[in-house]
With several copies, the nearest count.
Chain A
Amino acid sequence: MERIDAAQLIAFLQVLTEEMPAHRDRLRELDAQLGDGDLGITIAIGMKAIRDALADFPGEEPGMILAKSGMAFNREAASTFGAIFATALMSAGKHIRGKDAIEVGDLPGMVEAAASGVSARGGARPGEKTILDVLLPMAKALEQQVAAGASLPAAAQAAHGACVEAVAETEQMEAKHGRGGWLKEKSIGIPDPGSVAICLMVECLARFVEGQSP
């Protein structure tokens, strides 16, 4: 698969929203160590909200599908993560406004747009144990992949690899935002739950574009 058009994006969201709720307990436990343990439920409810919205998406272009998915997620599963995730998807979606398919070359810009949207909404900077700490390394990896002429599956694979590494690095960071921020140095040693969630989504994407490729 070299491009993700609207229909394929909807198909991907179908897979994603089917798979993510399975990580509920792991995310709940991680989030409980840093905060209130709701992230697993947030993801489960938010993913279901996207799933329920899928029927309304045919006819929309990919950018709008992303933006509406973010809004649907945060409508039903509003939370810190919900607001951040909605902002990320809306920013990424805006970046590809008018396009009828997402190509590998769009990916770095989309992820960068998501990162700056998130930073504007929540005021986080790199190294503060938020999803910024996976978005930025991922954007960098994608840039390198695109510069090297990688295929969409290869680029997605590399993005996931960068994510896994980045998540591991969040373990050593001290949280400054959200509930984790109240733990200060006690937050060190636990990976950032929101980043873990993003990483799981990227893994799902990489598998999707791989599986669908000829």
Chain B
Amino acid sequence: MKKLINDPFEFVDETIEGVLLAHRDHFQRCEGSKRALMRADGPVEGKVAIVTGGGSGHIPVFLGYVGPGLCDAASIGNVFSSPSPDDMLAATVAAHGGAGVLHLYGNYSGDRMNFGMAAEMAEMEDVEVKTVLVRDDVVSAPVEEMDRRRAVAGLFFAYKIAGARAEEGATLGEVAEAAEAAAVNTRSMGVALTSCTIPAAGEPTFQIGEDEMELGMGIHGEQGLRRGKIMPADAVVDEMLEHILADLPFEAGDEVAVLVNSLGATPPEELYIMYRRAHAVLGQAGIGIHRAFIGEYATSLEMAGASISLLRLDADLKRLLDAEAYSPLLPRAHA
């Protein structure tokens, strides 16, 4: 384990401390929780608040998606583990601007159960809560069982779309609808070349050969579609897009946003090499590219690998995707 860290059990709290010190104008702590942050200018009176959360180790997911045009607050747990209901409740109550709260997060059972408890408690405190789950990873379950699918980098699209809709002054129902529209129109798939190491575990989560890759792996090291020899980037992109395109399916004439995301160690150069191929494949399929996002949007600590996400756009989604948004932890080209 080669890391620039101190006590592995202080990893999360020290990260949050650093984030707060570096971006004092952007974040504040939510009252009553060490593990929940919100916009410095929150709660925004009269606006639907979007609250997210999940395990640590995925920056910019989740804290990095807090900001104008994005989420209002996030609670984060230990590395790759759900936050506690207490922290989620603190975020929910703190961010509430009187217009209700959307719980928008990835479809992981720990998060779902704990957010479920938090939502029950919030409702006892008279905060209206709706929930939308992102479930974009095509290999995690067949399309007929979409509700069992896990979330990966497609979270970005859901945050961006829902955040813009809330900023427009929409109601809780409308914001939830926009978030769900983003969720059902997003498809992703990843590839991992190396494992990451959870600081407190001290050992790689999984073993993988020097010449192997795993297609479809989840962002916590969950098994993917298949383990095989490393292939050239173009072949990897082809195989990923084959699964992604067939799943929705995306069709000639569709317009999409493309996200090529690094899981951590994979450098931007490789993402651009992948994007180049994706651009060609989509062109061949008659699918138009409205906008490309390339960089670190959802990581797995220092894992080497990448994911591709497509969001099928209509006029509404396009408007929301193009709206202004800001967070100091996000790649610049996000809007």
Contacts and interface: CB of A to CB of B under 8 A. Distances in A.
Direct contact of A and B (CB under 8 A): yes
Interface of A: 28, 32, 35-38, 40-42, 44-45, 74-84, 87, 121-122, 177-179, 181-183, 186
Given A42-B81, A79-B78, A179-B109, 8 more contacts: A36-B222, A78-B78, A78-B82, A82-B84, A121-B113, A122-B109, A181-B141, A182-B148
Contacts, number: 105
B206 interface: yes
B79 interface: yes
A199 B127 CA distance: 39
Interface in B79-96: 79-87
Contacts of B114: 74, 78, 82-83
Given A36-B222, A182-B218, A79 B198 contact: no
B223 A183 contact: yes
A79 B110 contact: yes
22 contacts: A32-B205, A37-B201, A38-B79, A38-B80, A41-B78, A41-B200, A41-B201, A42-B78, A45-B9, A74-B84, A78-B78, A78-B83, A80-B113, A82-B81, A83-B110, A83-B114, A122-B109, A179-B108, A179-B109, A181-B148, A182-B140, A182-B222
Nearest to B8: A41
A102 B77 CA distance: 34
Nearest to A74: B84
A35 B77 contact: no
B113 A179 contact: no
Contacts of A32: 205-206, 221
B117 A83 contact: yes
Question: Which has the most chain A C-beta neighbours within 10 Å: B117, B206, B223?
Answer: B223
A84 B108 CA distance: 13
Nearest to B117: A83
Contacts of A177: 109
B133 to A, nearest CB: 14
Question: Which has the most chain A C-beta neighbours within 10 Å: B80, B113, B206?
Answer: B113
A36 B224 CA distance: 12
Contact of A77 (B81, B116, B148, B201): B81
Contacts of B77: 78-79
Nearest to B200: A41
A37 B205 contact: yes
B110 A40 contact: no
Interface in B2-45: 9
B150 interface: yes
- State the 3 A-B residue pairs at the shortest beta-carbon distance, nearest first: A83-B113, A80-B110, A36-B220
Contact of B220 (A77, A121, A179): A179
Contacts of A82: 81-82, 84, 110, 114
Question: Which has the most chain B C-beta neighbours within 10 Å: A78, A81, A182?
Answer: A78
A42 to B, nearest CB: 6
A36 B205 contact: yes
Contacts of A28: 201, 203
A122 B201 contact: no
Nearest to A76: B84
A75 B206 contact: no
Nearest to B148: A181
A75 B206 CA distance: 27
A121 B110 CA distance: 11
A186 B214 CA distance: 15
B2 to A, nearest CB: 18
B92 to A, nearest CB: 15
A44 B140 CA distance: 29
A79 B141 CA distance: 21
